[in-house]
Amino acid sequence: MALDEPPPASDDESMTSGAVPAGTPLPAEAELLAGAERLPCGRPLGRAWQQARDAGRAPDPHSSHCPHCRGAIEGLTALDRATRALRGEEQPDGHRLATRIINAVRTEVRLGPMLFLDDPDHDLRIAESAAAKVLRRAADTVPGIRAASCRIIASESGDATHVVTITVAATLDRPLRGRAEALRGAVLHSAEHVLGLAVTAVNVEINAVLDLSPVPSDDRFELRDR
Amino acid sequence: MHNRMGTSPQPAVGVPPHRALPPLRGVDNVGVAQDTAGSLDDGLLAVRAAEGDEDAFAVLVRRHSSRMLALAQHLLGSRTDAEDAVQDAFLSAWRRLPEFQHTASFGTWMYRIVTNRCLSTLRRRTRPLPLDTIPDPATDPDRSPPHVAEIDAATAALTAALQKLSPELRVCWVLRELHGLHYEEIAHVTGSREQTVRGRLFRARRALTEAMRPWR
């Protein structure tokens, strides 16, 4: 099981199919197999439904006269009608719930390692996650750049210096080299003057092409046509 | 594309002193940061959130909570249970994000977590469904035209019939018909095979058409 999938813990089990043992050969259209159940006229229910969905084709002589096939098609039509109405109902307003969730998340902050600031006594520290947020924000101010990962690793020398590795998405309307230099400058400036963190190097990785068209809030999973 | 650029160390002192950067200041800056985050796609936000950026995660929560709540409500038939399931799912996602491998989109990953959370709620459920489960359009005075009432009644009947399906069938039907997921996405979300999904969808439709018989 891949790491990004929920582990099969007691409260989060994946569903198992159960019905068909692994390795059993299955026909390409299992849905039709499941629909092999026959109507009293002898025709498989799945086939009658298939005809109902083939809107462009006229029904064959049998199904236009057979009361069983017609009944099956009417049943599916009634279900489709109610389904459309249910789908058209307004989505519940999740705003209040979202606020509750965000508040709960903020009580579970993941700080990450603590980093020494560049003060004379080296007794001030900042969480990597907090510092990374500031550096990402600086990266976002560079036109055509949006920051993804930002890791800040303390040098092994123990002198409170750090190496930043920042991964970004960039638009392709300008040469990447110049853009990477601007990014490096923005990050170094922010590290030094906003955070007071000594940074000896900024490694820049561009691993995605950025499309800056706005992301609509909640309609990217719109129902697709069937 | 995975261009690794500028790996040679650059000393901090090399920054030109005249570099013009927008000031990072109080309230203004917060506004800018939120605007920027709002324009980011889920993938970037998920990477940031995985590294402990709760502001990025907040944007993801705002973006997906209504859809996840709709899913949970259709699976559980109760607003209260649905809210609890969605909250648990997002908290679980927040804790697990560092392990999220981006093999699926964040949205599909959330569908999977919310679905599993709802299924475990259903397995634990011993009490009957709460009274807020099934809407009664007949008592709604704002909807008087007969055809509207009839459509509402049919919708209510479908909602009620949905709650009588086995959880596995209900999940497949809701993801396909109300959320528009494709077979392979449903297979990923439910951890089953595409053929299994197709079979379940057929059985769900079969049961629901029976329940909808009076509305033909």
pLDDT digits (tens, 9 = 90+) for A72-105: 888 898 999 999 999 988 889 999 999 999 999 9
For residue A26, pLDDT over 50 is answered with no
Q: Delineate the domains of chain A, giving CATH numbers in brackets.
A: 32-86 (no CATH), 114-209 (3.30.70.1350)
What was the pLDDT predicted at A214?
Answer: 59
Confidence of residue A16 (pLDDT cuts 50, 70, 90): very low
| Whether the predicted pLDDT of A219 surpasses 50 | no
**From B10-19, B73-82, B118-127, B161-170, the region with the lowest mean pLDDT:** B10-19
By the CB < 8 Å criterion, does A5 face chain B? yes
Q: What is the pLDDT of residues A156-214, one digit of tens each?
A: 887 889 999 999 999 999 999 999 999 999 999 999 999 999 999 999 999 999 876 65
Interface of A with B in 82-111 (CB under 8 A): 82-83, 85-87, 89, 91-95, 97-98, 100-102, 104-106, 108-111
- Check CB contact of A166 with chain B, cutoff 8 Å: no
Lowest-confidence pick of A8-12, A58-62, A77-81, B78-82: A8-12
Triad A209, A215, A217: Cα angle to 5°:
150
Domain ranges of chain B: 40-127, 134-216
State the pLDDT at residue B39. 78
| CATH 1.10.1740.10 is held by the domain B40-127 | yes
Residue A120 CB contacts under 8 Å (≥ 6 apart), including other chains: none
Adjacency order of strands within the sheet including B3-5: A145-154, A161-170, A198-209, B3-5
| A147, β-bridge pairs | A168
> For tokens 């990266």, what's the residue?
A139
* pLDDT surpasses 70 at B113: yes
* Most confident range, picked from A189-203, B7-21, B30-44: A189-203
Residues of B in contact with A30 (CB under 8 A): 195-196, 198-199
CA-wise closest residue to B204 among B39, B75, B12: B75
Alpha-carbon distance A3 to nearest alpha carbon in chain B (angstroms): 6
**Residue A134 in this model has a pLDDT that exceeds 50:** yes
Could you give the ipTM of this predicted complex? 0.76
Q: What is the mean pLDDT of residues A108-124?
A: 88
Q: Report the share of chain A in percent with pLDDT over 90.
A: 48
| Ramachandran assignment for A158, one of left (phi > 0), alpha (psi -120 to 50 degrees), beta (any other) | left
pLDDT at B3: 41
The answer, yes or no, to whether residue B136 has pLDDT greater than 80, is no
Please answer whether residues A99 and A113 qualify as being in contact, where contact means their C-beta atoms are separated by less than 8 angstroms. no
What's the average model confidence in pLDDT over A128-133?
A: 96
Token readout for B205 is 């439709």
pLDDT band at residue A37, thresholds of 50, 70 and 90? confident
More confident residue, B214 or B128: B214
Chosen CATH of B134-216 out of 3.30.450.20, 1.10.10.10, 3.60.130.10, 3.40.50.170: 1.10.10.10
The CA distance from A152 to A35, in Å, is 58
A215 in contact with B at a CB cutoff of 8 Å? yes
A–B interface: beta-carbon pairs under 8 A: 302
**Residue of A10, A26, A31 to mutate when probing chain B, most B C-beta within 10 A:** A31
Burial of A207 (0-12, 13-18, 19+ CB in 10 A): middle
Residue among A40, A43, A92, A88 nearest A63 (CA): A43
Mean pLDDT score across all residues of chain A:
80
Query: Who wins on pLDDT, A152 or A37?
Result: A152
Per-residue pLDDT tens for B157-178? 999 999 999 999 999 999 999 9
Nearest-CB residue to B12 (from A45, A134, A199): A199
Q: Is A130:B42 a contact under the CB 8 Å cutoff? A: no
State the average pLDDT over residues B9-30.
33
| Interval B17-28 mean pLDDT | 33
Q: Chain A window 50-69: which residues touch B at a Cβ cutoff of 8 Å?
A: none
Distance, in Å, from the CA atom of B196 to the CA atom of B28, rounded to the nearest integer, reads: 53
**Cβ contact A189:B19 at 8 Å:** yes
Query: Long-range contacts: B98-101, Cβ < 8 Å, 24+?
Result: B98/A110, B98/B50, B98/B51, B99/A3, B99/A4, B100/A3, B100/A4, B100/B46, B100/B50, B101/A2, B101/A3, B101/A4
Strand-strand pairing, A145-154 and B3-5: unpaired
